[in-house]
Structure 1
Amino acid sequence: MKAAIVTVGDELLTGDTANTNATWLCARLSDRGVDVERVTTLPDRIADIARVVNEYHAEYDAVIVTGGLGPTHDDVTMEGVAAAFGRDVGPHEAALKHLEEVGGYAAEELAEGTVDLPEGSRALHNPEGVAPGAIIESCYVLPGVPAEMQAMFATVADEFEGQQTYSETVETTEPESALLDRITEVQDRFAVRVGSYPGETVRLKLTATEPQEARKAANWLDGHVEDVAE
């Protein structure tokens, strides 16, 4: 399963808000064996959202969009996603019913547009807030508030499933540029992908579809790089 993530919000592009949602989603999807191949951040602009969602929907098995849900002036994500699928936006009966019966809200208490979702979409209820999300075909629209996004994702997490992977880590004091020959060789010897993450030391992450393959590759590599403890 291949997925793309779209985060929406002017505040992300100005640096006023850290884009923690993308990092969190990438980690959870990776844990479920899903390959995330795109992470794109967009402004609160309907045309941009529609264009990117349309493109990614055609290319990936799933698209997750976060941010810009609600009734305020810059919450235009639902309109953008609806436009990508050629649908109108309007009050969603199931979303309103949930807020009335579970949330304890009266319809007149909700700000105008709170339960407006794309026509024909499946409503995603918000365990930590008010604004609902939605699923349109293989596009999942989630809130931007991290606690709300995480709680809503948990309600659909089982719909994301890929090939399980296993990882092992080797750490070395050698500079990253000096490790290219060993990285190439371990990938030639074993069916693994290698990620290289430099810092005070270099952390090499080996990922395989079988746990024993990752372990064998890590054991080999550990014996061919300088040990951190040396």
Structure 2
Amino acid sequence: MDVALVTVGDELLAGETENTNATWLAKRLSGAGARVTRILTVPDDESVIADAVQRYRTAFDAVVVTGGIGGTPDDVTKAAVARAFDRDLVVPEDVRDHLEAKAERFATDNPELVDRYEMELDLDAWAAIPEGGEPLLTDESFAAGCVVDGVYVLPGIPEELRAMFATVADDFGGDRTIETIHTPAPEGAVVTQITEARERFGVAVGSYPRKADTPGRVTVTGDDPDAVRAATDWLRERIETVD
């Protein structure tokens, strides 16, 4: 299963916010056996988001889009996804009712916040999804996410993202297997072994340099678990390793 990630936010491109969502999702998807082959960060620009989604939705088995699904003026992601599919944004009555009840509970539990900031809640923006999409709702998020023909639209706030991803995690999988070897050896010392392992076992092997307080890594990746295991065992016999 080939997956593309599209993370939305001017703050990501400006370096004001670290893109932890992309790292977290890539680890979860790879761990499930899927293969992440694109990670793209785009601004809060409806046309740019729509163009990326339109291109990726036909090129990949699934696209995960994160960020910009709330009710503020710069939250244009759901409108962009609707545009990519040439569909309208709609407000399902049951989703709006769910969010309205949630907002009422929030107001009851936090009257000082509501009064102090004179909060105006745009329930229609929170509840809106592209026509024909499946809404995604969690306790952690006010805004509804959605799934539209293999495109998964999730929040940008990390805690909300992780909770909503959990509701669709079973949709992602595959035969991709990854094994990791930790080694104190510098990258230049394992080139011969890596090259031979690739040719001998038909797997992908990558090496990543050691840092000040952590060893280097050699990763073995492939669609055949037996080949990955055999290559890993073969490399462990020829590369100095650490636990």
State TM-score, norm by structure 1.
0.89
Q: Which runs of 4+ in 1 moved over 6 A?
A: none
Q: 1:206 aligns with which of 204, 220, 239?
A: 220
Query: Residue 154 of structure 1 corresponds to which residue in structure 2?
Result: 166
Give the partner amino acid of 2:230: K
Confirm or deny: 8 A CA contact 1:54 1:84 kept in the other structure.
yes
Q: 1:196 aligns with which of 189, 198, 207?
A: 207
Counterparts of 1:181 and 1:64, CA distance in 2: 37
SS in 2 for 1:4: strand
Between Structure 1 and Structure 2, the one with more helix by share is 2
Deviates more, 1:155-164 or 1:57-66: 155-164
Counterparts of 2:52 and 2:152, CA distance in 1: 14
Query: Residue 31 of structure 2 corresponds to which residue in structure 1?
Result: 31
Measured at CA, do residues 114 and 179 of structure 1 come closer, stay the same or move farther in structure 2, by a change above 3 Å? same
Deviation at 1:111, TM superposition (A): 4.4
Q: How many correspondences in the alignment?
A: 227
Deviation at 1:129, TM superposition (A): 1.9
Counterparts of 1:226 and 1:166, CA distance in 2: 19
Counterparts of 1:220 and 1:92, CA distance in 2: 56
Deviates more, 1:61-70 or 1:189-198: 189-198
Counterparts of 1:116 and 1:212, CA distance in 2: 46
Query: Residue 63 of structure 1 corresponds to which residue in structure 2?
Result: 63
Q: Does 1:95 align with 2:78?
A: no
Counterparts of 1:206 and 1:124, CA distance in 2: 35
Measured at CA, do residues 119 and 125 of structure 1 come closer, stay the same or move farther in structure 2, by a change above 3 Å? same
Measured at CA, do residues 105 and 112 of structure 1 come closer, stay the same or move farther in structure 2, by a change above 3 Å? farther
Deviates more, 1:193-202 or 1:16-25: 193-202
Confirm or deny: 8 A CA contact 1:94 1:123 kept in the other structure.
no
Measured at CA, do residues 132 and 199 of structure 1 come closer, stay the same or move farther in structure 2, by a change above 3 Å? same
Deviation at 1:30, TM superposition (A): 0.6
Deviation at 1:225, TM superposition (A): 3.1
Counterparts of 1:147 and 1:228, CA distance in 2: 34
Query: Residue 82 of structure 1 corresponds to which residue in structure 2?
Result: 82
State TM-score, norm by structure 2.
0.85
Counterparts of 2:71 and 2:240, CA distance in 1: 57
Deviation at 1:210, TM superposition (A): 4.9
Deviation at 1:169, TM superposition (A): 1.2
Deviation at 1:194, TM superposition (A): 1.0
Counterparts of 1:214 and 1:50, CA distance in 2: 38
Query: Residue 18 of structure 1 corresponds to which residue in structure 2?
Result: 18
Deviation at 1:212, TM superposition (A): 4.6
Deviation at 1:220, TM superposition (A): 2.2
Confirm or deny: 8 A CA contact 1:169 1:218 kept in the other structure.
yes
Query: Residue 3 of structure 1 corresponds to which residue in structure 2?
Result: 3
Deviation at 1:29, TM superposition (A): 0.6
Unaligned runs of 5+ in 1: none
Query: Residue 183 of structure 1 corresponds to which residue in structure 2?
Result: 194
Confirm or deny: 8 A CA contact 1:166 1:210 kept in the other structure.
no
CA RMSD, aligned part only?
2.3
Deviations along 1:70-96, one digit per CA (max 9) or x if unpaired, are 110110101111100001113222321
SS in 1 for 2:125: coil
Counterparts of 2:34 and 2:103, CA distance in 1: 33
Unaligned runs of 5+ in 2: 107-119
Counterparts of 1:41 and 1:109, CA distance in 2: 28
Give the partner amino acid of 1:187: R
